[in-house]
Structure 1
Amino acid sequence: MAAKKRIKREESDGKEGFGPVTVGLREAESAILLLNCSENEVVVCACDALYKFLSKSKLTCVNRGRYSDDNNKRLLLKQNLCQNLLPLLSSGDKLVRRNALSILGLISSFKDAADAIRKVPNYLSLFRKLLNPEEFDNTREFTLLTLKNLCDDSSTVGDVVQEKLIPPIVDCLNCLDPDVKKNALDALLKMNKDFEVRSALAVTSTLQLLLDQLGSEFPSIQNTALLVFSRLTSDCKLQTTIRSQLQKMNAFDTFIDLLGKPELNDLHLAALSVTEHLLEDVNCVKVSEIRSHHGDIKTLLMQDLLRSGKLHTLFRFLGDQEAKRESDKQPQVGASSTKGKGGSPKKTSPQKSPRKAKTQEEKPSVITLPETKIHACYAVMRAAHNADIRRVLHDADVEQMLVHLLSHEDQTVRSSAAQAIAVVSRSSLCQERILQLGGLEWLIRMTCSEKYETKSAGALALAALTTGNPALCHELAERSSGIDCLLSCLDLQDPGAHTAVVSGLTALTSLALEESTRPMVLQRISGKVFVPCLLSGSTTVQTKAALATAAMICEPEKLVEFCENDGIQALVHLLNSPVPDVCRSACWAIFTLGADSHAAKLLATSSVIKQLLAINRSAAKRNQFTALALQRLLDAKLEIKFALTGRLDFSDQIQNQFYDVGAVLSVSDVLSLPDYMEQTLNDKRPIYVISIGENHSDEDVFQQVAVAELHDGDTIENKTLPAGVLTMAVDDRLVQWLEHVRVHIEPLTNPRQQFSELAEFVASQYGGCVKLEDLETFRPELALAELRAQRMSNVIPIGTIRIGNQLHRTLLFKFLADQIGLPTTLVRGNYGRSYNEVVLEDRSETGSSHSRTYIVDLMYTPGRLIEATSRKALEYISLF
């Protein structure tokens, strides 16, 4: 619009003088030289000539096919046009300023011209003066055009904000000249990328001015205003402020009305973009709360949208139905009365010729364009994030429209419809409706596609549909390619396919958690399928892969395959992730896999337990999942648990090859039993071992190799079996003790009697009772030192000890009680003292029973059960 304007020359108000002088210029260089003339009339004529030269070149030279107007602009720039023009902006003559700016606006799109303008001191302050309403409209128009071109550089936008130039630009929207409005909107649209500019526009008066531009007669002004609104409403930081102000202005109805006018179809794409952003916020639509007779509050959203047809106006873009025009509803003969772009009536105009009418009919409607349907799907998707709006959408049968788009010829439309279905499917009612309409089959086909965009959208919708819906899970599992299409998503390694991988993992996990579909999924899943996902660079993929591992890697053969493909190492590596969700999911997988004794042995290594201990010591990282994982691994490695915590609980049963290394501060201080056996005799604390001579199976050997792989300093590549695995010899005396207990104590029916006799038996094997007066002379350390010297090792089987102290007796008592099913604890007290706790049911005189905890006396009066809360129990713990 600006380039087509002809600058009018105004009469001078000066005194009578010579008549007008006609200046004839043949070369552009001559006109540039005249810009330095002291006579304003000459300068005005020179600017006029240069403007005509630039404007006419676009019309003539291009048509002749010689060169474009850009060549003319470059030619003038080489003649130092900017250096001669810029001083004219400060001229005292309004006409000179206007004509100079007209040229500057045309050439400011070139980098050299823009750089020359930026070098002018305080050029933005000068532009502020040129935006004054007292200036010519043309002056303001070309000033805005120049500003718009300068804002191609982000640094200029920052300078504009710092100079507080946004309010003068916004004030230009009040101008009656449409070119001024258009350039002001273009400048705001280009500067709108900056957050500070958006903050400056988030004012009620400014938003109202922008909203008023939607009633303009010019589509370009309306469209640019809509684009400004689209960028404003999409700002995550300012969306609450802007949307609340638009709600007060009832702006949502304004945008919906634009969508309902077919004569404004060239604005529908931009209007849809704004509408989709507003629908994301429930407060932008009319909301009313009604209290029912039960006293609960029901929120009725968009209660008038269905009745007024506004919701159907939006849904119209999901289909191919064209809205009826007012002229179609009331046909006239000889003349047609139409409405302007802003809705204001125009004068009656004669009907168009058949040729023109045919040309207009052949023009494709915006409603059939794929871009329109994509924006409509996004609008539904954003609105469906709210549960109450999903209910309204379901009542309007939006599922049928979205399922219909799944068969659209454009793949982007299909993907957009699937993404909308993924959000709508958060409602169980919508899930059932989509299943009835056959949408599941279309989504399976999309998930089988080789194109990432289509595959990701289909998998995303399937993941949403199968969440919490057993019927849909069963339908998907029953389809021939239902599970296969989800498994194909896991094979994608491209970074752009992370959505498909995440969705596939989510859907498979949902199927595995349903009782009816779990066998079908486990039958198709291999133990190695999740390992590449655990090693993915995406934290979301890692999180979902760990959850899927916890849900599906449960059968023995799958566990073995998972371990053989380095699944344990990949899972343990996730514990170091800085993302809380990844660490939490990995801990849950460790906890579930640890239910299997084989997997628990592989996981319960010093390095893994050390990581979990560090996580649980951190207040920022500790949570219930990390605590569960640590507890599971400590339960699988009782040697480390007792060394660190000093307590074995009732459920912790001591088995063969258990060894006690004493209290340690770090898990790194606990070595494996073969490592202790390889050590020579030293002055360190003895290692007490339980060895009843069970043979090592192939599984035990494999566990030892896998544990070696996870141990600190070992590499995964070292998978060869050790040359010689040291094993403890059978502790024959301990085997005899165990056999005696099983024959004489286990058959007893009274638990109290069992505990007492077992305590007496243990004390008798370790030197009998110790009287209080003999405590000072009771020195089992001498006999123990002699035994260590005989064995030339620090590893001592507990069956070889003849005189046992409190620790020896409590360890043996715990082991024997566990073997015959008597629940007891083993607690390491202060200064190396240890004791056992048991729980018995005591009946009162009234017949009621309650549980009490007792301390087992193994030293002073073997077989005595001391109530744990009594003073005698405290004395026993302190004395021994």
Structure 2
Amino acid sequence: MGKKEKKAEKPPPDDVFDVVAVESRQAGTVVLMLSSPEEDVQSKACEAIYKFVEKCDENKKMLLDLGAVDHLLHLIQSEDRVVRRNACMAVGSMAANSDVRKLLRKKEESIPALIQLLSPEEDSVVHEFAALGLSYMATEFSSKSAIFENNGIEPLVKCLSSSDPDVQKNGIEALAQMMLDYQTRAAIKDADGLNPMLDLLRSEFAIVQKLSLLALERASQDAENRSAMRELEAMSKLIDFVAHPEWNDLHVMAVMVLSNLLEDVESLEEIKESGGLKKLVAMITDQPPPEEEPKAGKGAEKKGGSRAAKKSAKGSKKGGDEGDKEEPPPGEAIIPTLPDVKMCAAKAICRSARNAENRKILHEQETEKMLIILLGHESADVQTAAAQALGVMSENLMSKDFIRESEGLQPLLKLLGSDNGDVKEAVTLALANLTTANTTNCLEISNLNGIEALIHTLGDAREEAVANSACVLTNLATEEVLRSEAQTKGVVTALLEPLKSSNTNVQAKAALAIAAYVVDSDSRETFRNAGGIDCLIMLLHSGSDEVRRNASWAITVCAVDEPTATEICKLGGMDILQEIQVSGKRQNPFAAAALERLLDSNLSAKYSLTGQLSATNLIENGFY
């Protein structure tokens, strides 16, 4: 057979342009390439733009000015997958610029197009950058509404179940931004978004965990979401999260979510029954966790192990017998909880305890002990939060006694010497609540030498601390022995400065304290000689109803003896009280009682004004 000859290559058709390789370093040229009818050119131009905008924010602004955004919005809806992907990457990255977002908001098709790119048919890179663009857009309220109205919540929720952590990160960030709006918070449960958010707590990436906690914190502000989260055992998962010391930088956020959940009595009941509350208290106070009773039919290993459980090999028992527990190696120290976490936990207790039923449950779990321990922490923020929580807890009658029996009064009194104003304010408020209608606590404060410290606090620069201290001293005055002790220590003269305060709350509390202490002639003489009467009369001019009432009551008590009553009249007190009584807005029964008491101590004035005397008025020296 003869040798075959090689076929000659056919030249390209005459009507087809030869391939041209274009190289350009000008952004404007690449933007022009976006208008090409060739998908390959469009794809390469989009890719070049993505790389360019990733370099710096100025490049995003430059491309915006060159009109690239309009072309890219068109190309993210291209029929070619590669063009769509590259255009989506460019748009998602450019949305980081506020001017770009401003233009995108004006383009009604931008948000629906990005949401469409979250469809299951698209690959993970498209999902990543479409979610990224939506997360940037969701920073503005109008865009939140647009995403919600275009049914963007469910596609974003589906991103949370992606195997790509970047898709998860951008999806949860977009949802976290969206849930600043109440509409999304209410809709996230119906979109089945709560469970995947909780699942992301086990992510290997801290940023994903952080964003999921942020989203959960915002979602848990809705009562129906809290109910759904209880069914998903959210509290147990959050407490387990706090139990991992390697995640301690995120523990504050986890406790903030718990704080929202603990607003509901149902949540508190559940966490109590599961033993979670005691476990949380143990962690916050750096104590060993309480021993758990083994549950029948279940092994010792926890479901859904975290990366911490997988990494820790020392001192753990894997696949142990029923009821076995993981124990730390002998001699291993308990890693203390960060101060911010302790503070946040105390605030969570404080917030929950505002409900009377919650206070009862918290008391049953002896939560007060945790708060008393936290009073001894070196951080002023922790001390403040603990004292605030004790103040709210002490509104429960049983808690008042329990705090005293748990030696909680001493650390509170010790903190009266703190240099921190927030601490003093919180501590004095707690003491005011603890001594209200509780004689035993009042006596215990005396036994702990607290009266002198409270009197000293009356001169503090923190006005609310002064008001609260005056309130505590008023409570102590109900016991004669304590009243005498405080008088001996100079409480009457110490109350003069608070009377001169410009703060109406301080004025009101100080006037009430004066009324409690000037009940004998010696204390009235001391008060009168120190110029206290003038201060009280000045308060009768106050625009505050409470200040006028309390000042009137103090004058009523002062005016029982003639020298003080004469001094009050001499300084114009009777005239002011008469003005108050004829005023339609300012008159009150306390002013009426004060005027009556003044007149009873000055019978000539009473007869002159009223033309009569009562059967109890005794004329000793005669008058005319």
Structure 2 length-normalised TM:
0.76
* Conserved? CA contact 1:568–1:603, under 8 Å: no
Partner of 2:420: 451
Q: Indicate the SS of the match to 2:515.
A: helix
Q: Is the 8 A contact 2:474 2:512 kept in 1?
A: yes
Distance 1:188 1:503, change over 3 A: farther
Alignment deviations for residues 639-662 of structure 1 (CA, whole Å, 9 cap, x no partner): xxxxxxxxxxxxx79833556579
**How many residues end up aligned between the 2 structures?**
565
The residue identity in structure 2 corresponding to 1:567 is C
Distance in structure 1 (CA, Å) of the matches to 2:148 and 2:501? 48
2: CA distance between counterparts of 1:103 and 1:365? Answer: 49
User: Secondary structure at 1:224's aligned position in 2?
Assistant: helix
Matched to 2:451, the amino acid is: I
What is the alpha-carbon distance in structure 2 between the residues aligned to residue 371 and residue 517 of structure 1? 39
Matches within 5 A, 1:203-214: 203=187, 205-206=189-190, 208-214=192-198
RMSD, aligned α-carbons: 4.3
* 8 A Cα contact 1:408 1:414, kept in partner: yes
User: How many Å separate the matches in 2 of 1:166 and 1:364?
Assistant: 53
2:133 maps to a residue whose letter is T
Distance 2:120 2:251 in 1: 33
| 1:109 alignment counterpart | 96
Instruction: Name the aligned partner's letter for residue 442 of structure 1.
Output: P
Change in 2 beyond 3 A, CA 1:528/1:315? same
Kept after mapping to 2: 8 A contact 1:422/1:465: yes
Indicate the residue corresponding to 1:421 in structure 2. 390
Question: Is 1:190–2:205 an aligned residue pair?
Answer: no
CA-to-partner distance for each residue in 1:496-540, whole Å, 9 max, x for gaps?
Answer: x34422322222222222223111112234545445434545444
SS of the residue corresponding to residue 516 of structure 1 reads: helix
Q: Deviations over 1:147-191 (max 9, x none)?
A: 433444xxx314532674484134411234343443232233234
2:475 counterpart (510, 514, 539): 510
Contact in 2 for aligned 1:173/1:181 (Cα 8 Å): no
| 1:767-786 superposed matches below 5 A | none
Structure 2: distance between partners of 1:609 and 1:583: 13
Give the equivalent residue in structure 1 for 2:78: 93
Q: Which of 141, 154, 158 is residue 157 of structure 1 equivalent to?
A: 141
Shift of 1:471: 2.8
Moved more, 581-590 or 271-280: 581-590
1:541 corresponds to = 506
Is 2:281 the counterpart of 1:315?
A: yes
Is 1:198–1:232's contact at 8 Å kept on the other side of the alignment? Answer: no
Q: Residue 455 of structure 2 contacts residue 491 of structure 2 at CA under 8 Å; is this kept in 1?
A: no
Residue 836 of structure 1: aligned partner: none
> Displacement of 1:204 after TM fit?
6.8
How far residue 549 of structure 1 moved from its aligned partner, in angstroms, is 3.0
Alpha-carbon deviation of 1:323?
Answer: 5.7
Point out where structure 2 has 5 or more consecutive residues left out of the alignment. Answer: 1-15, 293-299, 315-331
Counterpart secondary structure, 1:517: helix
Q: Are 1:528 and 1:561, in contact at CA under 8 Å, matched by a contact in 2? A: no
1:215 aligns with 2:213: no
Give the alignment of 1:764-803 within 5 angstroms. Answer: none
What secondary structure is seen at the aligned counterpart in 2 of 1:37?
Answer: coil
Shift of 1:93: 0.6
Q: Which has the larger radius of gyration?
A: 1
Sort the Cα spacing of 1:83 and 1:437 in 2 relative to 1 into closer, same or farther, 3 A. same
1:27-106 alignment to 2 at 5 Å?
28=27, 30-55=29-54, 69=55, 72-80=56-64, 83-91=67-75, 92-93=77-78, 95=81, 96-106=83-93
Instruction: Please name the residue that 2:323 is paired with.
Output: none
Cα distance, 1:199–1:635 mapped onto 2, change above 3 Å: farther
TM-score, normalized by length of structure 1? 0.56
1:517-596 aligned within 5 A: 517-527=482-492, 529-534=494-499, 536=501, 538-554=503-519, 555-561=523-529, 563-564=531-532, 566-574=534-542, 576-577=543-544, 581-582=546-547, 584-595=549-560
1:89-142 deviations in Å (ceiling 9; x for gaps): 133415434423322332333333333434445654555555555655544433
2:458 maps to which residue? 490
Please state which structure has a larger fraction of its residues in strand: 1
Structure 1 residue 79, shift from structure 2 partner: 4.8
1:460 maps to 429
Give, in whole Å, the separation in 1 of the partners of 2:217 and 2:547: 35
**Equivalent AA in structure 1 for residue 604 of structure 2:** N
Shift of 1:572: 1.1
Contact preservation (8 Å) 1:170, 1:206: no
Distance 1:346 1:485 in 2: 49
Q: Does 2:608 align with 1:633? A: no
* 1:803-822 to 2 correspondences below 5 Å: none
Spell out the pairing of 1:232-247 with structure 2 (5 A cutoff).
Answer: 232-233=219-220, 235=221, 240=223, 242-244=225-227, 246-247=229-230
CA separation of 1:93/1:141 partners in 2, compared to 1, >3 Å: closer, same or farther? same
Distance 2:529 2:142 in 1: 59
Structure with bigger helix share is: 2
CA distance in 1 between counterparts of 2:473 and 2:429 reads: 12
1:500 matched to 2:469: no
**C-alpha distance after superposition, 1:350-389 (max 9, x if no partner):** 979xxxxxxxxxx998752112222222233334344554
Q: 1:257: how far off? A: 4.7
2:156·2:171 contact (CA, 8 Å) conserved in 1?
Answer: yes
SS of alignment partner, residue 419 of structure 2:
coil
The answer on whether the counterparts of 2:376 and 2:411 sit within 8 Å (CA) in structure 1 is yes
Distance 1:542 1:316, change over 3 A: same
Relative to structure 1, the CA distance from residue 398 to residue 817 in structure 2 (aligned partners, 3 Å threshold; closer, same or farther) is closer
Equivalent residues in 2 for 1:338-737 (5 A)? 343=305, 367-480=336-449, 482-493=450-461, 497-527=462-492, 529-534=494-499, 536=501, 538-554=503-519, 555-561=523-529, 563-564=531-532, 566-574=534-542, 576-577=543-544, 581-582=546-547, 584-595=549-560, 598-599=564-565, 601=569, 604-614=573-583, 617=584, 626-634=588-596, 636-637=598-599, 655-657=603-605, 660=608
1:513 alignment partner, SS class: coil
